[in-house]
Amino acid sequence: MTNDNLVTIGMDVSDKWSHIVVLDDGGNVVLEERVATKAAAVKKFFKRFTGARIALEVGQHSPWLSRLLGEMGLEVIVGNPRKVGLISASDRKSDRVDAQTLARLARMDPALLFPVQHRREDTQAMLAFLRAREALVEARTKLINSVRGQVKAIGGRMPKCTSESFHKHADDIPELLEEALVPLMETIGMLTEKIKHQDKVIEEVCREVYPETALLLDVDGVGPITALAFVLTVEEPGRFRSSRAVGAYFGLRPKRDQSGDVDKQLPVTKAGDRMVRKLLVQSAHRILGPFGKDSDLRRWGLKLAERGGKTMKRKAVVAVARKLAVLLHRLWVTGEVYDPLRKANLNAAAA
């Protein structure tokens, strides 16, 4: 096989081995190979395909593989399997078939693969730091719930307090459960210290490495973690033609199933980054909650929530989260200073 930019390659990546199918310019299969999913093996195999187009799916290994193959001079397309029915809904699914399907779709039209763009290595490392913090918080929550549940089971009750101060109430554990639960309280205390340390690091990173987060922090309900996660995940704000597209990017846009006179009301897509979507929803709860500050976004969300019961309130939270994503992107792109009552002031001036 010679260096030929007319060939198209499909690569079905697995944890240990990856199946590769190579098509020539006429769409004929000219090579099938199984290669170890390791950098050295990938380099050795693909060094003869400089200039070729290669397609692979989003997965655990796709970030480093796409960077490596791009550095070797290949045109890399990372497809979204959730949106490619030929792969996700195939009734004859196998590594070989998937690799060939990827290659044929890339040869016909890369847009059919709904390509995604992986982040830079330094951005991915910082996101890993945020996800590590999220894992610590989830572990602490699980341990706290375990302690509360086991104390209730013998007729006791732990006092109401924040997660940060829970470990200080070890003296409230019934004597019967001390031997079992005190070690959990000590672990909860250690996790709390680790989380506090990571929070300080995140604040420093926002201030020193990502100063653009300062514009986002002006919005009530948005803290350093949400601001940094948003900036890291979007990475390049200019890749969105419109700020409105950011809500859909984080899976906060309702699904659509319309045909003729039927237009169903469906839940949001939940596409994109789960952690950022969760943070945006938490910020929306803060904005609409009893301690939220007056703003156009709060007024709009509360008005929407008034239309119905609990279901409408939940929808209002998601709608505010979607608008918040649009607002954060807009502030980042324009560099404008946030005015919480900009629309209300304009309406008052016009009146």
pTM to 2 decimal places = 0.84
User: What was the pLDDT predicted at 225?
Assistant: 97
User: What was the pLDDT predicted at 258?
Assistant: 66
Greater pLDDT, 169 or 265: 169
Mean pLDDT of 150-169: 95
User: What was the pLDDT predicted at 91?
Assistant: 66
Does pLDDT of 106 surpass 80?
yes
Mean pLDDT of 136-162: 96
Domain boundaries, the chain: 8-113, 121-209, 214-350
CA distance 218 to 216: 5
Neighbours of 91 (CB within 10 A): 4
| DSSP secondary structure string for all residues of 148-207 | HHHHHTTT--PPP--GGGGGGGGGGS-GGGHHHHHHHHHHHHHHHHHHHHHHHHHHHHHH
One-letter amino acid for residue 284 of the chain? A
End-to-end CA distance of the chain: 73
CA distance 213 to 216: 5
* Residue located via tokens 């989260």: 321
Percentage, residues of the chain above pLDDT 70: 95
Position 5 confidence tier, pLDDT thresholds 50, 70, 90: low
Does pLDDT of 119 surpass 90?
no
- 8-113: CATH topology: Nucleotidyltransferase; domain 5 (3.30.420)
Cβ density class 272-289: b for 16+ within 10 Å, e for less: bbebbbebbbbbbebbbe
Judged by average pLDDT, the poorest of 26-40, 266-280, 283-297 is 266-280
- The per-residue pLDDT of the chain, averaged, comes to 92
Mean pLDDT of 187-191: 98
Give per-residue pLDDT as tens, 41-81.
999 999 999 999 999 999 999 999 999 999 999 999 999 87
Q: In the chain, where do the E strands start and end?
A: 8-13, 17-23, 29-36, 53-57, 75-79, 258-259, 262-263
3-state secondary structure of 62: helix
Position 2 confidence tier, pLDDT thresholds 50, 70, 90: very low
CA distance 190 to 271: 34
Does pLDDT of 268 surpass 90?
no
User: What was the pLDDT predicted at 269?
Assistant: 86
Reported as half-sphere exposure (CB side, CA atoms, 13 A), residue 22 has a value of: 18
Position 95 confidence tier, pLDDT thresholds 50, 70, 90: confident
Mean pLDDT of 202-221: 96
User: What was the pLDDT predicted at 261?
Assistant: 67
User: What was the pLDDT predicted at 90?
Assistant: 67
Does pLDDT of 300 surpass 70?
yes
Mean pLDDT of 85-107: 83
CA distance 71 to 67: 6
Does pLDDT of 198 surpass 50?
yes
CA distance 181 to 175: 10
Q: In 14-131, where do the E strands start and end?
A: 17-23, 29-36, 53-57, 75-79
Torsion of CA 328, 334, 339, 342, to 10 degrees: -100
Sign, CA dihedral 327-333-339-342, equals negative
| Polymer length of the chain | 351
Asked if residues 46 and 69 have their Cβ atoms less than 8 Å apart, the reply is yes
